[in-house]
Amino acid sequence: MRKSLIIILGPTGVGKTNLCLKICEHFKTPVISADSRQIYKEIPIGTAAPTAEEMSRITHYLVGTHELTDYYSAALFEAQVTEILEKLFTQTDTATMCGGSMMYIDAITKGIDDIPTIRPDIRRAIHEQYIKEGLGPILQELASADPTHYNIIDRKNYKRVLHAVEVCRQTGQPYSSFRTNKAKDRPYRIIKVGLIRDREELNDRINKRVEEMLAAGFLEEARRVYPLRNYNSLNTVGYKELFAYFDGQYDYDFAVEKIKRNTRVYARRQMTWFKRDTSITWFHPDDEQAVIRYIEQSLKN
């Protein structure tokens, strides 16, 4: 039988975890998380990571496997998932991946360019420069080192700017010289299942989930990791707003409303990204049987 990877994707709060568990149980497959924050063991509440009960139902990969101080990227995700799938496909014909991190899903379905792994000393030096001097001088360096990429990069996205300059400094070559945008061939079939709800329904679920996370100890979790707030792993919705509350920039109610709003904005960004991909077949998360029938038919083809 042909090897197949089922990908369950969609915006945050749509209901991926619940349906994915049922899909994995039906097809008897493990699941690989495609969530760029659920890999960190210290922040399960704010990332809505699978619970111990959920993880006991099926085998999970890349959930709570790293520390907040670890460097991680889509390139490392691609390498790790490739290794995991190579092993899994010696034991089974089908595996599942579930998540909403767009770059991580693209890393597996399309591959990413072979960008050099950055040395810790270079990463640390650029990050310290950013903290002390801001983004301006680093943008000027990028404009000089790689005007091609400077002209197309989102200059407000400091993470991308810093990474491009890291590559330029380490290699002495323009970051754009490493960007080929050539899709990689995968030795397995990819079946993409997208989950979608109407906007009002999704927004209501997001608002309720934020309240549930706070009731479950999200505030206390954020306090525990506050000393690590400058790490990129915590540059994410929820923690940023609570850190601003701790710093006295927001009052509590305003911080909570900002979390809800920014999560809704992120969900819209996810849908904009995913809807460019015509290979995704979309379902309402409650249509469990329709999803199963679609996957069964796809596996037969």
Instruction: Give the strands of the sheet with 4-9, arranged side by side.
Output: 60-61, 31-33, 94-99, 4-9, 189-195, 281-283
For 169-208, how does the pLDDT look when each residue is reduced to its tens digit (9 = 90+)?
A: 999 999 888 876 677 889 999 999 999 999 999 999 999 9
DSSP one-letter code for 62:
S
Q: How far apart are CA 21 and CA 32, in angstroms?
A: 11
Query: What domains are there in the chain, each with its CATH number?
Result: 4-112+182-300 (3.40.50.300), 120-178 (1.10.20.140)
* CB-based contact 77:104 (threshold 8 Å): yes
Reply yes or no on whether the pLDDT at 243 is more than 70. yes
State pLDDT tens for residues 40-50: 999 999 999 99
Determine the pLDDT at residue 74: 85
Whether the pTM exceeds 0.85: the reply is no
Q: What is the mean pLDDT of the chain?
A: 93
Report the pLDDT averaged over residues 116-127: 88
* Helices 288-300 + 16-27 axis angle, to 10: 50
